[in-house]
Each structure stands twice: as C-alpha cells, then as structure tokens.
Structure 1
C-alpha cells in the first residue's frame, strides 16, 4: 500500500514499485488519482484518511505500507498540518494493527524530526510526534526515513523556487540530501532487505543504500 502517490516522494516510490518484480499488487490511496493504467496498480481516490474502518477495507493481502502522504507546513495551518501528519497516520496505524499487524511500515519523515517530538520548528515537532506514534505501535517492522534536502527527480515544472538553487548544489555535494528517486530506492531496499525490526534512517544512512 502506498499513500501520497501523486506527491514528489510518493510518485518516485510508485515508479519504483511498478518496476519492482516482487511487488505483485499495489494499492494507492490518494487524495488525487494517479491517472495510470497499470495492471498491478489499484488506484483509489480516497478522502477518508481519518476513518480507520474505511482504510481497513483495502488492507487485505498487504505486507508493506509506504506512508508518503504529506503536505508543506507553509500551505496549511498548524492544526491542519497536525491532522494530516499525525491524526491521519494514527488512523492508518490502527487499521494496520487490526487488519494487517505483520506489515512493514515505512514512514516518510524529515531530517530534524525528534523521535519524541523534537526539532526546532512546529513542523519538525509534529513530524517527531508522528514518528513516536509509529514506534509505539504494535506493528512488527517499522522504519522512519529522515532525508535531508530532497532534489526532485521529476520534470522542471514540478520544482519549487528553492530547487533552482539547491538541486545543482546537491549534484555538487550529494551528502546534503538525496533525489526523490534515490529516497524511493532506499525505502524499497530497507523494506525488502533490512534485517532490523525498527530503525530511524538518517540522511547519511540513506546514502549508503544507493550503491
């Protein structure tokens, strides 16, 4: 299962899953449709992210969840940001605990998010709260991914203003972050091959998975 498949990171994860032979079926829950005709993709336009029972209906047979649903803190109020980042994820976690407790759960988080709600900004504190909810859950395997700067792998018309400065810098200094495709690769490699049951992967560890 993938959430947020139309976002920058989610679209890269979706592309990686479509190319992964061992991924036999992909269920995408998103606020907007992917608009892809792929035989192994079930594309669900989904608005009930806070409804645990509505989510449970799509968990049959799911062994891995990539939760990439996110929003920019500058675009919404703090209350809305917390609802999307924490409350919606909590509903997804409860649904997994009830219907698919053996799943591997991969959370797209952010550099600077504290595992107990740390960070310098309200957004990072809320990201940290989301991580805390994940690691307090009863799921068998759970990972949080904290990339640095994420350079968009998509076309230039998807770039934000800061990307025109930071994307060339990231090419010169790869250690400052990863591309969205690189992050997707690292997330899949972790879900499929990491022997740990739980871990937070910082930017440096993500880069070690790119070889």
Structure 2
C-alpha cells in the first residue's frame, strides 16, 4: 500500500480581492486540499463542499475566532492594500500590523502550519530603501520568518494574469492581458499566472521546514513541481 497523504486544511485570507480569490479557486479545484476556511468582512460569493466562511469585521482582533482557527496546517495570505493614495500610518497598520496579528494568532494555535505571504516584486528585505511600501513589505516578510511556523514562504510576484472566471480581478487587466506573453518572454521573472501562484502555494505543503523568498521564476518552478 502507498503512503497515506496527510490532510491539508487551509485558511485563505483576502478572497474578496483578486489574489485571494484566485488562490481560493485553485484550492477548491485541487485534490491536494481537503478543506478551506476563508475569513472576510463580507461574503466572498463562493459555495463549495470544502469551503467554510467566517464573517468577521475587525482583522486587528482575531481573539473571538481562536476556537475556530485550530487544526489548520496552512495559511495562504493574499490580503493587502495598495500604497497609492494611502497615508503612511494606515498603510503600515493594514500591511504590517494586520498581517502580523493574524500570523501570530495562527502560529500560537497551529504549530505545524505553513504560512505563505504574498508581498510583491520589489519588496525591500533590508528595510532601508527609498520606497516606503517596499520597506514595510520587507519588514513584514522578515518578521514572519521569525514566527514559530513550520514553514514560511514569501511570494514576490510581479504582473499576475488572473483566471478568466475571477469576479474580483481589476478591470484594467482585460485591457492589458494581451501583453502577458510578450512580457513573459522578455522578463519571465516579472510575469506569472494566477494558477501558477496558487499552485506554487499548494506545492509548498509537500516541503518540510523551509523559509524562502520566491521571486517570479521561483514561483513558476514551484508551481510546476510534480505532486
């Protein structure tokens, strides 16, 4: 008899945004994922036998949810905001403070968890560069690496081509998707598909005790690993 696969029970954050929604679509399709919990301020609009949704307003206080967050071995964190038009304090709170609160809560409850964080191309690991958003993302990545998760993967995609059926993809993508094959050929490190990003996250669950930063080419390679 072959080795029995361990169950993969995943929490996905950000499913009312493009990245989180794309991750959700792929997880619901994947035979490697047994159950999915999503936590949103408003319903994500998806129903599936594997899917459970919690509606919760205060993402800076997950203490009321703690009795529902144990027993998961992965968190795919696709929640985030743009720095454009946002003051520095708000961006820091919604990027660093919120992410770390969720991560610290989950690390406390799930010692064998893999945490996958979507930061973005250009993130500044030194935390000393010129761009504020890149420094904040870099600090978030660095501090996630310290938490007592089994694994941490920081994903740095550039241009992400959404899945055609996505409801929350930015409208401008339908005007620029035609550039994807050109960009991928010229600069493959800066272009991946939503399926590749999500499948790479799913494939982290077959790894052990890793802490890695994944640029575009790394994401594509991990997505194409044999299951």
Which one of 68, 74, 82 corresponds to residue 64 of structure 1?
74
Give yes or no for the alignment of 1:130 onto 2:136: no
Give yes or no for the alignment of 1:95 onto 2:124: no
Closer, same or farther: CA 124–196 of 1 in aligned 2, 3 Å: same
Question: Is the 8 Å Cα contact of residues 8 and 152 (structure 1) preserved in structure 2?
Answer: yes
Structure 2: segments with no counterpart, 5+ residues: 1-10
SS of match in other structure, 1:73: coil
Give yes or no for the alignment of 1:159 onto 2:170: yes
Shift of 1:116: 3.6
Closer, same or farther: CA 58–29 of 1 in aligned 2, 3 Å: same
Shift of 1:156: 9.0
Give yes or no for the alignment of 1:206 onto 2:216: no
Matching of residues 8-47 of structure 1 within 5 Å: 8-47=18-57
Shift of 1:92: 1.2
Q: Deviations over 1:63-113 (max 9, x none)?
A: 101111111211532222211111111111221222112200000111111
Asked which structure has the greater CA Rg, the reply is 2
SS of match in other structure, 1:159: coil
Matching of residues 45-60 of structure 1 within 5 Å: 45-60=55-70
- The separation in 1 between residues aligned to 2:124 and 2:139, in whole angstroms, is 8
Closer, same or farther: CA 156–7 of 1 in aligned 2, 3 Å: closer
TM-score normalised by length of structure 2: 0.83
Aligned length: 209
Question: Is the 8 Å Cα contact of residues 52 and 94 (structure 1) preserved in structure 2?
Answer: no
Matching of residues 103-114 of structure 1 within 5 Å: 103-114=113-124
Give yes or no for the alignment of 1:186 onto 2:165: no
SS of match in other structure, 2:115: strand
Higher alpha-carbon deviation: 151-160 or 75-84: 151-160
Output the aligned Cα RMSD: 2.1
- The separation in 2 between residues aligned to 1:203 and 1:209, in whole angstroms, is 10
